[in-house]
Amino acid sequence: MAATPTDDDPTAVPVSYVRSELLYFIQNKCALLPLDSVVSICCDFYSNSEVEDARGIMVQQLAQLAPTKRVTKHNGADDAKRKKAIQDLVKLCLDPTLQLPTFFSVDMSRIPSVGVEHVDISMLLQEVCALRAEVRSMTAVRSEISAIRDTLDTVQAQPQGCSIPTVDTGSAAADTAPPTGSSFAALAGNFSIRAFKRSQKDRRHDGQWLVVPPIPRLKQ
């Protein structure tokens, strides 16, 4: 059974669907389980006739898809032949250069169940390590988000228009510095000149005109 190209994509390669319980199991499990585990499960579950039927289907598909490839027919004891034939089928399903059809199963009772003893422990460990790394990254992101929220709450809690006064230490030091002898004399001279320059001018006090006597000018 094959799917014809659609009207939307007339150049698409037809996808065929072939019934084979053994090839269905191999095609779906060869990328998840080690090759030895797949071969061992199939050798223990399937009979010689089922393996030969699957081998015949693969020969027909290779004649259409890859005429240069062959499936060797092994000789010897039944167990050895079955094991070598299944190894060839698994290798063909793992070949990335082959575009094999999609195999399907009708009788699910002929699909072996995969037990815990056939699970790849190293693959599980890799998945656990990847999961731990994701959890750690999520924890770091959560802490960063919490810090950002605290910062936003602090900024929003501050009153609007509030400014922090600044102190100019240079000018303050200059203003509080004690005057030296020369600066004190200059200040006294300016005071005497500006304050007592009009010493001869009359001033009014309590309704009477007073004459302010001249004050001697301080020496600079």
The yes-or-no verdict on residue 159 having pLDDT over 60 is yes
Any idea where the domains of the chain sit in the sequence? Answer: 13-108
Q: Which of 26-35, 49-58, 121-130 has the lowest mean pLDDT?
A: 121-130
**Looking at the predicted structure, is the pLDDT value of residue 193 above 70?**
no
Half-sphere CA count of 127, side-chain side, radius 13 A: 7
- Pick from 155, 219, 158: which is nearest to 186 by CA? 219
Name the β-bridge partners of 15: 3
Say which residue, 52 or 210, is predicted with more confidence.
52
DSSP 81-144: HHHHHHHHHHHHHH-TT--PPEEE-S-GGGSPPP-GGGS-HHHHHHHHHHHHHHHHHHHHHHHH
Tens of pLDDT, residue by residue over 86-138, are 999 999 999 888 889 999 999 988 998 876 655 666 767 788 888 888 888 88
CB 25, CB 109: distance < 8 Å: no
pLDDT of residue 47: 92
173 has pLDDT over 70 = no
* 74, 144 Cβ separation under 8 angstroms: no
